Structure 1
Amino acid sequence: MTRKTKLSKWAETAFQFDTELWRSKTTEGMVVLGKLPDGIFTLLRFNDEGGQLTHISESEALWLTLELAPEKMNCI
């Protein structure tokens, strides 16, 4: 069973990037997908305790978009 995490208003709006394609609230926190000018996709996961930024492949970005933000598929 997944533990529900309540995000503060700060966490819901934190880490705003110009390269952001979409953001989605999950049970673990907030997930933000971005794309750098050189075509590299970035994934930021964070909650009130902090966050982690990673680079992901286009296929991972497509899969996550389909799962978490299907209405944003045209962004990829």
Structure 2
Amino acid sequence: CKFRDTQGSIAKGEIDSFLSASGRPEFRRRIWIDTTGRAWSTKAEETLRQQEKPVQRLGLHDLKASPIRWAEFVQ
């Protein structure tokens, strides 16, 4: 879990440690949840596409469009 500024794009360096840690054999697929609404840099997008294991991205729009009532989980 990382907390990032909402300005600028998500750079490749920001996803490298996630991809490295989740590249271990015990993981079959990965989910990246982004609550900043920031775009990804071209290099980050390219790196994600080149992964052997699938990475599903959920963005702020996806979370807002979800039928889950997120406020019920906030204390």
TM-score (norm 1): 0.22
Higher RCO structure (Cα 8 Å, ≥6 apart): 2
Answer with 1 or 2: which has the greater Rg. 2
TM-score (norm 2): 0.22
Higher strand share: 1
